[in-house]
């Protein structure tokens, strides 16, 4: 039990959702702000009367395109407010705002005055529209931009496909009611409906889903036996803002999250609070489950009916040993989905404000790892390709073997002056960038003694970025 008191904090304003179909609403004023409100009312089905001596372009267009909007090319009068449910004005002064408000309230309307909260009976919030599902956000006028920022967050968490799910719910509602199910069964149906919507937001529900959900209601065991699955998610190079929307949504619906070392804590914050979060990092210096152990756990969780998020740094299909996990899961009959991520090379290039391709300098990009099975530089690398002066080369896991790598590249004919940049912790706080040449980069790296993940970028396309970094020294 918490020791909080029972007193509820006061509600600054009441969120209520109005049905406006065919209702008379008045908008006074010719500004863009007035136009925007008129548009909003019309999109909610209102019959909108606009009074504006000098209507802006938006209003002209709206009146031309939208039969429910009538534009009267004159200033508003008291009589115009008769029968209005909602009255909105973009007033030129406080005096006009006060007159309008008195007239509108006299006619029984509720009032909004654009940008003058003191005269408002109600305010428009920020909207997330997945009609018939609608989310409104209000800060009671305190900080609209804060409200918009929150709206952006909620947008990302509310799949577009929810509109189709909400429409299906509207259609199915009658059908469900007609079945005369006991309250608990009905509730269970809608819970299962919501769970399915979260699981498969982008696939519009079908009649088969309806039948499936009804079957689940009548047979509790069906739900328990629901098959788990695994989503391999690219966590990006570090900055959580670089997650894809799909990754965020998948994290929100996972029961278990298995993550690597390179996944930043900010990324994990997107997982549900109740989800189990397991660190399965594979650092050499401390015990870790090892790849076979990780794969076995993925299979085990999925077979137990869990939705498992397997978070891997960067993109899961680039030096992520994804094949082993995918094959083991498929062999065990577990569904696997892959959500791509921003690979470290892209993250580093973005930090450097550099393009990895350049029409005449770099027609090719190659991602290589300089870390063989035994930790040494792999012998069987394609040295000719790596020494191609017309390519940009990005080296993953290349710190330990860098001296050997640069020696081999020079021996293979790559110019010692080729620009070389090391980025440590790309996109993380504490990111470091070291610019040099093929001849100097290994020694510069050793001097900096990096402790975070590092990526090496080589090639003529990086000359601009290298010069900028060296100029900043
Ligand atoms: N799947 C990952 C790569 C995994 S291999 C991806 O697509 O990025 C691990 C190597 O990736 C590290 O040794 C390092 O070379 C590189 N790496 C990952 N994150 C990095 C980061 N934020 N900054 C620099 N290098 C990074």
pLDDT digits over 101-127, tens only?
Answer: 999 999 999 999 999 989 999 999 999
Q: What is the pLDDT of residue 1?
A: 39
Residue 67: exposure state from Cβ atoms within 10 A (0-12, 13-18, ≥19): exposed
19 is catalytic: no
pLDDT digits over 367-399, tens only?
Answer: 999 998 888 999 999 999 999 999 999 999 999
All residues at 6 or more sequence positions from 122 whose CB lies less than 8 Å from its CB, including other chains: 13, 110, 111, 112
Q: Is the CB of 237 under 6 A from ligand 1?
A: yes
Q: Is the CB of 312 under 6 A from ligand 1?
A: yes
For the CA of 456, the nearest atom of ligand 1: 15
Which of the listed residues 236, 313, 315, 371 should we mutate to test ligand 1's pocket, taking the one with most ligand atoms within 8 A of CB? 313
Mean of pLDDT values over 453-472: 94
The residue whose CA is least distant from atom 11 of ligand 1 is: 396
Nearest to 109 by CA among 75, 140, 79, 82: 82
Q: What is the pLDDT of residue 180?
A: 77
Q: What is the pLDDT of residue 9?
A: 74
How confident is residue 218, by pLDDT bands cut at 50, 70 and 90?
A: low
Does the pLDDT of residue 226 top 80, yes or no?
A: no
Q: What is the pLDDT of residue 219?
A: 58
pLDDT digits over 435-458, tens only?
Answer: 999 999 999 999 999 999 999 999
Candidate list 260, 306, 312, 315, residue with the active-site label = 260
Give residue 237 CA to ligand 1 midpoint distance, Å: 7
Does the pLDDT of residue 215 top 90, yes or no?
A: no
Mean of pLDDT values over 203-218: 84
Highest mean pLDDT, choosing among 27-31, 216-220, 261-265, 302-306: 27-31
Of 2-6, 31-35, 168-172, the poorest mean pLDDT is in 2-6
All residues at 6 or more sequence positions from 232 whose CB lies less than 8 Å from its CB, including other chains: 310, 312, 316, 320, 322, 325, 326, 336, 337, 338, 339
Whole-structure pTM over 0.75, yes or no? no
Q: Is the CB of 319 under 6 A from ligand 1?
A: yes
Q: What is the pLDDT of residue 105?
A: 97
Please, which residues bridge with residue 279 across strands? 259
In Å, what is the CA distance from 422 to each residue of 33, 133, 314, 438?
50, 48, 17, 11
pLDDT digits over 49-100, tens only?
Answer: 999 999 999 999 999 999 999 999 999 999 999 999 999 999 999 999 999 9
Residue 194 CA to residue 381 CA, distance in Å, equals 51
Residue 110 CA to residue 117 CA, distance in Å, equals 13
pLDDT digits over 231-273, tens only?
Answer: 999 999 999 999 999 999 899 889 999 999 889 999 999 998 8
pLDDT digits over 306-365, tens only?
Answer: 899 999 999 999 999 999 999 999 999 898 999 999 999 999 999 999 999 999 899 999
The residue whose CA is least distant from atom 2 of ligand 1 is: 314
Q: Is the CB of 453 under 6 A from ligand 1?
A: yes
Mean model confidence pLDDT for the chain: 91
Give residue 318 CA to ligand 1 midpoint distance, Å: 9
260 is catalytic: yes
């Amino acid at each position: 039990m918490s020791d909080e008191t029972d007193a509820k904090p006061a509600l600054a304003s009441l969120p209520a959702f109005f049905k406006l179909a065919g209702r008379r609403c008045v908008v006074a004023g010719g500004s863009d702000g007035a136009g925007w409100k008129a548009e909003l009312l019309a999109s909610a089905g209102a019959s909108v009367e606009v009074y504006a001596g000098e209507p802006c372009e938006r209003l002209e267009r709206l009146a031309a395109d939208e039969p429910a909007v009538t534009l009267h090319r004159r200033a508003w009068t008291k009589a115009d407010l008769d029968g209005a449910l909602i009255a909105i004005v973009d007033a030129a002064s406080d005096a006009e705002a006060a007159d309008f408000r008195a007239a509108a309230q006299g006619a029984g309307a509720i009032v909004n005055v654009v940008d003058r909260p003191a005269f408002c009976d109600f305010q428009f919030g920020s909207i997330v529209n997945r009609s018939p599902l609608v989310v409104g956000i209000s800060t009671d006028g305190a900080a609209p931009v804060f409200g918009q920022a929150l709206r952006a967050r909620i947008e990302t968490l509310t799949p577009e496909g929810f509109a189709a799910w909400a429409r299906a719910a509207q259609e199915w509602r009658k059908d469900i009611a007609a079945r005369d199910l006991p309250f608990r069964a009905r509730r269970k149906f809608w819970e299962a409906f919501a769970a399915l919507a979260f699981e498969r937001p982008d696939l519009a529900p079908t009649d088969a889903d309806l039948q499936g959900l009804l079957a689940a209601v009548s047979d509790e065991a069906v739900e328990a036996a629901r098959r788990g699955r695994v989503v391999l998610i690219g966590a990006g190079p570090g900055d959580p803002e670089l997650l894809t929307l799909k990754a965020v949504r998948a994290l929100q619906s996972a029961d278990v999250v298995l993550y690597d070392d390179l996944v930043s804590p900010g990324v994990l914050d997107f997982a549900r609070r109740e989800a189990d979060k397991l660190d399965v990092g594979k650092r050499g210096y401390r015990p870790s489950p090892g790849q076979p152990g990780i794969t076995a756990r993925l299979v085990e969780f999925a077979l137990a009916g869990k939705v498992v998020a397997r978070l891997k740094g960067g993109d899961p299909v680039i030096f992520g040993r994804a094949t082993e996990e995918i094959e083991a899961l498929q062999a065990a009959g577990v569904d696997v989905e892959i959500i791509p991520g921003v690979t470290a090379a892209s993250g580093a290039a973005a930090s450097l404000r550099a393009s990895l391709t350049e029409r005449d300098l770099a027609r090719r990009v190659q991602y290589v790892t300089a870390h063989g099975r035994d930790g040494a530089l792999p012998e069987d690398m394609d040295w000719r390709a790596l020494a191609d002066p017309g390519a940009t080369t990005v080296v993953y896991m290349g710190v330990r073997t860098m001296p050997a790598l640069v020696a081999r590249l020079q021996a293979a004919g790559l110019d010692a002056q080729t620009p070389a940049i090391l980025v440590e912790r790309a996109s993380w706080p504490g990111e470091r960038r070291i610019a040099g040449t093929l001849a100097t980069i290994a020694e510069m790296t050793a001097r900096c003694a990096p402790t975070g993940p590092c990526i090496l970028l080589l090639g003529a396309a990086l000359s601009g970025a290298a010069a900028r970094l060296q100029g900043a020294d």
